[in-house]
């Protein structure tokens, strides 16, 4: 199908292994109007519609994607980003407010984003974050009313001039304002004073780069953010946690009942600093990839529920930006291009640790949907959007430049071979990717419940 089925049409999908009610089991799904009408777990008569050995999973939700359009569409763009997402089993992305020009810090910028996304005819559903920067307090409520899922801020230099960071007083003001209307604040938590005191000499060594963004920068910033949550009661989400040294503070905050959630990223769970090839800028990100013991602690925090979800933090750039500085990691653009590979990378790494794909789905589908407040996504349940992934755990995926759908193929995952493959991706009941075939637009722009956004034209 090249578009969603008519609203009165009914599609039945029988699978010997579907992730329903938290476990893989036989199930018959009925889809009507792009949503699950019925979900019947248990044995069924007749042949299955999903091939033997293939798991039917809810579509992955990636709530941390830098699409960069408009303004830096040459870095990515909605067309290439959503194709990459669909090829990787991701059926909904939420676009970050920075790296595009203008940044999404007022209603006019959000309208420009919506127009660009609609014109690109996205293959997966697209939502948007707003931004909290100095001087835009008055724009936050209008953005919230227009449908953004929350507001991203930086406590340190963001890397782009159009998205400045918040100092302590500005952070408090933003937290107070966002709490007034029940919004959600996302925080890039690295303390600028700790970063300023760290060694930042030119070097191609990843150990040196990690030392320039030390664990303590995250720990100190997270402590400050938690103090703000205690003062203002603001729902707050810590993005791309890289250090396990902050886990005790976060666990204590959760035990205290503070409204705090946490994400980490595939690159922190798959790579470790000692295994990185020095001078290879495709592995540079902020905060940085840390050591193997730290990685193991992040996996344990996922098991323990301290970390809520895994998202890509896809932040691509043209190769000349990534290679700026000729091997000096301080000068290279920081960001991992990994949207298409994120689910497969985590599923492969999880299996090697004795975890199954139901765990991965909990962290990459249900978790992000819950954190951002999007109850139509993240599970195979009646009433939810019929977003599905046919995942073959017995297949394999070799990441080569030819299979990467991102606008720029340079990626930390290039050259890796993952156990498992995405056979098919459905958005709202319509197939958007089937093997190598890509269908037309089936997606829509999404917003937090209660704030409607226009659908993608068919």
Encode pLDDT of 378-424 as tens digits: 999 999 999 999 999 999 999 998 899 999 989 999 999 999 999 99
The pLDDT value given to residue 457: 42
- The yes-or-no verdict on residue 455 having pLDDT over 60 is no
CATH architecture of the domain covering 58-387+396-418 = Alpha-Beta Barrel (3.20)
- The yes-or-no verdict on residue 7 having pLDDT over 70 is no
pLDDT in tens, 291-301: 999 999 999 99
The pLDDT value given to residue 407: 94
Q: Which pLDDT band, with edges at 50, 70 and 90, does 450 fall under?
A: confident
Q: Using CA atoms, how far apart are residues 146 and 140, in angstroms rounded to an integer?
A: 10
Q: How far is CA 113 from CA 30, 81, 122, 147, 448, in A?
A: 34, 14, 13, 12, 16
Q: Using CA atoms, how far apart are residues 78 and 124, in angstroms rounded to an integer?
A: 10
pLDDT in tens, 98-109: 999 999 999 999
Pairing of strands 125-128, 130-131: unpaired
- The yes-or-no verdict on residue 239 having pLDDT over 50 is yes
> What does the DSSP assignment read for 71-132?
T-TTT--HHHHHHHHHHTTEEEEEE-SSSSSS-SSSHHHHHHHHHHHHHT--SSEEEE-EE-
The pLDDT value given to residue 1: 28
Q: Which pLDDT band, with edges at 50, 70 and 90, does 9 fall under?
A: confident
**What order do you get walking across the sheet with 125-128 strand by strand?**
60-65, 90-95, 125-128
Token pair listed for 159: 């890397």
Instruction: Please provide the distance, in angstroms rounded to a whole number, between the alpha carbons at the two ends of the chain.
Output: 12
- The yes-or-no verdict on residue 244 having pLDDT over 90 is yes
Percent of the chain surpassing pLDDT 70: 96
- The yes-or-no verdict on residue 452 having pLDDT over 80 is no
Beta-bridged to residue 152, according to DSSP, are 131, 186
Mean pLDDT of the chain: 95
- The yes-or-no verdict on residue 5 having pLDDT over 80 is no
Q: Which pLDDT band, with edges at 50, 70 and 90, does 228 fall under?
A: very high
**What average pLDDT does range 91-120 have in this prediction?**
97
Q: Which pLDDT band, with edges at 50, 70 and 90, does 453 fall under?
A: low
Q: Using CA atoms, how far apart are residues 447 and 458, in angstroms rounded to an integer?
A: 19
**What average pLDDT does range 188-201 have in this prediction?**
97
10 with 35: CB under 8 angstroms? no
Q: Using CA atoms, how far apart are residues 197 and 156, in angstroms rounded to an integer?
A: 13
């Amino acid at each position: 199908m090249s578009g969603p089925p008519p609203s009165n049409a009914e599609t039945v999908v029988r699978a010997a292994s579907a992730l329903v009610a938290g476990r893989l089991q036989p199930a018959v799904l009925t889809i009507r109007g792009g949503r699950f009408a019925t979900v019947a777990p248990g044995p069924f008569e007749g042949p299955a519609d999903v091939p033997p050995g293939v798991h039917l999973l809810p579509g992955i939700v990636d709530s941390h994607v830098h699409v960069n359009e408009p303004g830096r569409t040459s870095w990515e763009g909605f067309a290439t980003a959503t194709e990459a997402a669909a090829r990787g089993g991701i059926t909904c992305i939420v676009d970050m407010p920075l790296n595009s020009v203008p940044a999404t810090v007022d209603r006019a910028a959000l309208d420009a984003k919506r127009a660009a996304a609609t014109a690109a005819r996205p293959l997966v559903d697209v939502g948007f974050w707003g931004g909290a920067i100095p001087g835009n307090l008055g724009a936050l409520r209008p953005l919230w009313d227009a449908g953004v899922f929350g507001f991203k801020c930086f406590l340190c230099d963001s890397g782009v001039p159009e998205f400045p960071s918040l100092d302590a007083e500005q952070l408090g003001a933003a937290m107070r304002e966002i709490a007034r209307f029940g919004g959600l604040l996302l925080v890039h938590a690295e303390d600028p004073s700790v970063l300023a005191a760290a060694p930042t000499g030119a070097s191609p060594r990843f150990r040196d780069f990690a030392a320039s963004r030390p664990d303590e920068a995250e720990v100190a910033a997270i402590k400050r953010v938690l103090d703000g949550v205690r003062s203002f009661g603001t729902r707050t989400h810590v993005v791309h946690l890289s250090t396990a040294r902050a886990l005790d503070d976060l666990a204590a905050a959760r035990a205290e009942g503070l409204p705090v959630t946490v994400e980490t990223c595939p690159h922190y769970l798959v790579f470790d600093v000692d295994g990185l090839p020095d001078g290879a800028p495709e592995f540079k990100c902020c905060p940085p990839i840390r050591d193997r013991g730290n990685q193991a602690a992040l996996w344990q925090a996922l098991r323990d529920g301290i970390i809520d979800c895994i998202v890509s933090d896809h932040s691509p750039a043209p190769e000349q930006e990534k290679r700026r500085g000729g091997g000096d990691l301080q000068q290279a653009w920081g960001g991992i291009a990994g949207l298409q590979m994120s689910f497969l990378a985590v599923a492969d790494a999880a299996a090697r640790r004795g975890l199954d794909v139901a765990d991965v789905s909990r962290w990459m589908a249900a978790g992000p949907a819950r954190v951002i407040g999007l109850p139509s996504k993240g599970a195979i349940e009646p009433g939810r959007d019929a977003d599905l992934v046919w995942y073959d755990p017995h297949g394999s995926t070799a990441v080569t430049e030819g299979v990467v759908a991102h606008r720029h193929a340079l990626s930390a995952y290039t050259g890796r071979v993952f156990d498992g493959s995405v056979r098919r991706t459905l958005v709202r009941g319509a197939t958007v990717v089937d093997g190598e075939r890509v269908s037309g637009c089936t997606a829509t722009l999404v917003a937090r419940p209660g704030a409607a956004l226009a659908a993608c034209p068919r």
